[in-house]
Structure formats: C-alpha cells, structure tokens
C-alpha cells in the first residue's frame, strides 16, 4: 500500500510541476514556430539534397520520410506548402523575404526549445 501512496504523490507532484511550468503553453509555442518554419526548411533541404542526389530522387525520398512520419494526409498538406512556397516567381524581394522567413522561423524554433527546456529543468 505504501508503494501506491508513493506513486500517487509522485503523480500529484508531477502534475503540479507540469502546470507551474506552463508546459502546455511551451508546447504550443514550439508547435507554432515549427509549423511556421517547416516549408522554408524543407525547401532548403530539398535544394541541397537535390544538388547531391538529383531533384526527383531527393523529393521522392523526403516525401516518403514525411509520409511515414505524419501520414498521407499530413504529407499532402506539407507537399502543398512546399509547392506553393517554391512556385513563387523568382525575384529579389521574394528571395529576400523567403530567406528572412527561414532565418526567423528556424531560429525561433531553437530559441523557444531552449527556453522551454530551461523553464522545465530550472
């Protein structure tokens, strides 16, 4: 019976620590910045891997990996994001905006991840 009481105390303390750290808010912030930077990061990955392995092979393999990870419906959404982001007319303003979005989004993901870990493991 002592073990059951210890487990209940552990669960209660864990819940209060989770709530005090705003873990749900931190998770939501991470999800937002990850989604925000997903398309630009995947475009860069496709560009670099396309130079090495060929564009068609790189895109096929990446989409296969994405499909395995998020399922067919999620993969379809991500493919649409990549196609729309990659199909814009090539001009300087669009390129600068895309690079700025990539840098902001990708760095925001890592900043938020660092803040979340620091908050939880204070």
Domain that holds residue 99: 92-122
What is the radius of gyration, based on Cα positions, of the chain?
20
pLDDT tens for 67-81 read: 898 888 888 887 787
Question: Does residue 50 sit within a domain?
Answer: yes
Model confidence at 12, pLDDT cuts 50, 70, 90, reads very high
Model confidence at 94, pLDDT cuts 50, 70, 90, reads low
CA distances to 47, 58, 87, 96, 117 from 43, in Å: 6, 11, 11, 14, 28
Question: Does residue 26 sit within a domain?
Answer: no
71 and 101 in a single domain? The answer is no
Q: What percent of the chain has pLDDT over 70?
A: 90
Please, what is the Cα angle at 68 between 64 and 73, to 5 degrees? 90
pLDDT tens for 53-67 read: 887 888 888 888 888
pLDDT at 88: 54
83 and 113 in a single domain? The answer is no
57 and 97 in a single domain? The answer is no
More confident residue, 1 or 38: 38
Question: Does residue 29 sit within a domain?
Answer: no
pLDDT at 90: 53
Count of domains in the chain? 2
Contacts of 109-118 spanning 24+ positions with Cβ under 8 A: 109/30, 109/33, 109/34, 109/37, 112/26, 112/29, 112/30, 112/33, 113/30, 115/26, 116/26, 116/27, 116/29, 116/30
């Amino acid at each position: 019976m002592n073990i059951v009481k210890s487990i209940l105390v552990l669960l209660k303390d864990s819940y209060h620590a989770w709530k005090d750290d705003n873990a749900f808010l931190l998770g939501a912030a991470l999800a937002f910045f990850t989604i925000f930077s997903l398309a630009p990061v995947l475009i860069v990955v496709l560009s670099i891997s396309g130079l090495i392995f060929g564009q068609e092979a790189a895109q096929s393999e990446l989409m296969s990996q994405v499909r395995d990870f998020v399922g067919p419906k999620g993969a379809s959404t991500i493919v649409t994001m990549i196609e729309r982001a990659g199909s814009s007319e090539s001009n300087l303003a669009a390129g600068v905006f895309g690079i700025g979005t990539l840098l902001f989004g990708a760095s925001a993901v890592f900043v938020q991840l660092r803040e979340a870990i620091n908050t939880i493991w204070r």
